[in-house]
Amino acid sequence: MRYEYDPMTDILLIKISKGKINFGKQSGNTIIHHNKIGFPVEIEILDASREVVEIVDVMLSKRKEKKKPTSIVNCR
């Protein structure tokens, strides 16, 4: 996997595999480019500086939830 970021356009390109792009499907600020048999070749994230921060925020909040200390119950 390879990453490329263009700060002028604020686009993050994630190259998943080598292959020729045949078509793309866009959902919001994400475009998934596929080869002719439908396998993903690259993921393009528009407005990447904002989108990636949101992704990282979700990941960090889930990590914090996982690490919350559990209470110890004294069973005598």
What tens digit of pLDDT does each residue of 15-35 get? 999 999 999 999 999 999 999
Give the pTM. Answer: 0.75
Q: One digit per residue, pLDDT tens: the chain, 76 residues?
A: 999 999 999 999 999 999 999 999 999 999 999 999 999 999 999 999 999 889 888 888 887 776 666 555 555 5
Looking at residue 71, its pLDDT comes to 57
Looking at residue 27, its pLDDT comes to 96
Q: Cα–Cα distance between 33 and 31 in angstroms, integer?
A: 6
Looking at residue 11, its pLDDT comes to 97
CB atoms within 10 A of CB 17: 11
Contact predicate 47/28, CB 8 Å:
no
